Each structure stands twice: as structure tokens, then as C-alpha cells.
């Protein structure tokens, strides 16, 4: 910032094992999104190492990062980010198109994941014809479609009412039971309590093994 270096994340040492369901819990400004951007290969750390699925991420260029994102990370955001002019099924199909999955396999996988999130009857709805919770489930179907090694969720229930948020949390449990690795970022200790492990972050420093206050 104006010639001064701002240290947002400090001495982060974090190992996430395959199949884990981890919450990163911290207040506004603590560094959650910065950490998420690094885990999600949207950004690289200034110093230090990041290994994902046996690949060294720190030091990769943008082309390599975008390839890793497409194959390894399923993103779920607070505001869904569905394409409004595409149907639910088309939104879910997109990562499979980018990954050059053949036509028949692609259509079958779209049906499979739409079924997984309980929306087989809404395949041809547009996002604005779906409720917030349904849109988030489409976004989750899209995130899991290409079998990523991590599901990375930033405040996934932030825009939902409590009941709908709980439905999404139940879906996360099912996805984790099926072997999906989930990293969920939140400022809400009640939401974090759904995870099987919680890491707290405060002023860019993480502390482990502390259970949420909820």
C-alpha cells in the first residue's frame, strides 16, 4: 500500500487431508478471503509453499493456475454466480465443457449431480426461476461436477435464511460422507460447527483445534 508492505497472512502452516471437512472461522478483515484465494489458486503467496494434490502451486503462472482451478477446485460463493442466460443444467455442464468431457458422459454427469442436489426436476429452469437455496444447490452441483479434489466454499449460507442454510449444510455433510474434501470459510461459528475440524484465523494468524463457541 503506497510503498508500504502489508502482511495480511502470517506464518500460515496448514495441512488439509483428503476427505476432510474443514471450516476456517474468523471475523471480517482477518484474512479469510486472502487465504481462500491462495487455496483456490486465484492468487499465489508472496513467500512460502503451497502444495495441492502433489503439485507445487506457489510459483505457477496464470495459465497453469487456471488449469489447476478448472481441474482441482470446485468453488461455491455466497452469491452463487450462476449465468443468468443459461439453464440450471447448462450452468452445471460448463466446467465439463471446459474439461472437454465427451457429450454423452457430460449429459449423464449433469443428470447425476442435479439428482445429487435434489433438483432433477429443475434442470431446464433459469436461475431467476429458482429460489436462493435452489440456486445455491445448482452452484454446488456445478462445483462437484468435474470431481474436484477440494470444494471451496466462501460463506455458502450467507445469503440464505436459516432453514435453507441448514439444507445446504446437510448437503455438505452428504458430500463429505461421499468422500469430498470441503473447506468452508465463514465468520459464523454456528455454521463452522457443521465442519469436522475448525481452524480459527485472527489478524492473519491461524490457531487450530479450538472448537467454535456455538
Ligand X SMILES: Nc1ncnc2c1ncn2[C@@H]1O[C@H](COP(=O)(O)OP(=O)(O)OP(=O)(O)O)[C@@H](O)[C@H]1O
205 belongs to the binding site for ligand X (CB under 6 A): no
CB of 36 to Mg ion, least distance (A): 7
* Span from 10-18, 29-37, 115-123, 133-141 in contact with ligand X (CB under 6 A): 29-37
| Under 8 Å between Cβ of 99 and 146 | yes
CA distance 103 to 8: 44
Q: Which of residues 158-187 bind ligand X (CB under 6 A)?
A: 187
State how beta strands 205-208 and 150-154 pair: unpaired
11 belongs to the binding site for ligand X (CB under 6 A): no
CB neighbours of residue 101 within 10 Å: 18
Q: Which is nearer to ligand X, 33 or 71 (CB)?
A: 33
Residues contacting ligand X: total by CB under 6 A: 12
Q: Which residue has the cell 474434501?
A: 181
* Residue of 12, 21, 32, 135 interacting with ligand X (CB under 6 A): 32
CB of 32 to Mg ion, least distance (A): 5
* Residue of 8, 83, 97, 108 interacting with ligand X (CB under 6 A): 8
Q: Quick check: helix, strand or coil at residue 174?
A: helix
Can you list the alpha helix ranges (DSSP code H) found in 44-129? Answer: 62-72, 88-98, 103-116
CA 67 vs. chain centroid, Å, equals 16
The CA-based angle 103-82-121, given to 5 degrees, is 65
CB of 40 to ligand X, least distance (A): 12
* Span from 23-31, 103-111, 139-147, 167-175 in contact with ligand X (CB under 6 A): 23-31
Helix 162-177 to helix 132-145 angle (10° resolution) is 20
Q: Which of residues 14-53 bind Mg ion (CB under 5 A)?
A: 32-33
Q: Which is nearer to ligand X, 27 or 118 (CB)?
A: 27
Q: Which chain residues interact with ligand X by CB under 6 A? A: 1, 6, 8, 26, 28-34, 187
Amino acid at each position: 500500500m503506497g510503498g508500504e508492505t502489508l502482511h495480511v497472512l502470517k506464518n500460515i502452516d496448514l495441512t488439509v487431508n483428503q476427505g476432510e471437512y474443514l471450516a476456517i472461522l474468523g471475523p471480517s478483515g482477518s484474512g479469510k478471503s486472502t487465504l481462500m484465494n491462495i487455496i483456490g489458486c486465484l492468487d499465489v503467496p508472496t513467500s512460502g509453499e503451497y502444495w495441492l494434490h502433489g503439485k507445487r502451486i506457489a510459483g505457477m503462472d496464470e495459465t497453469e493456475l487456471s488449469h489447476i482451478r478448472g481441474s482441482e477446485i470446485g468453488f461455491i460463493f455466497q452469491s452463487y454466480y450462476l449465468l443468468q442466460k443459461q439453464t440450471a443444467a447448462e450452468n452445471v455442464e460448463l466446467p465439463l465443457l471446459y474439461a472437454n468431457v465427451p457429450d454423452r458422459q457430460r449429459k449423464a454427469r449433469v443428470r447425476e449431480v442435479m439428482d445429487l442436489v435434489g433438483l432433477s426436476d429443475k434442470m431446464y429452469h433459469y436461475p431467476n426461476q429458482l429460489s436462493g437455496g435452489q440456486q445455491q444447490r445448482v452452484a454446488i452441483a456445478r462445483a462437484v461436477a468435474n470431481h474436484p479434489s477440494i470444494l471451496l466454499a466462501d460463506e455458502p449460507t450467507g445469503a440464505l435464511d436459516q432453514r435453507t442454510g441448514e439444507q445446504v449444510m446437510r448437503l455438505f455433510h452428504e458430500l463429505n460422507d461421499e468422500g469430498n474434501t470441503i473447506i468452508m470459510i465463514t465468520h459464523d461459528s454456528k455454521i463452522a460447527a457443521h465442519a469436522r475440524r475448525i481452524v480459527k484465523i485472527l489478524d492473519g494468524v491461524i490457531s487450530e483445534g479450538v472448537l467454535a463457541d456455538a
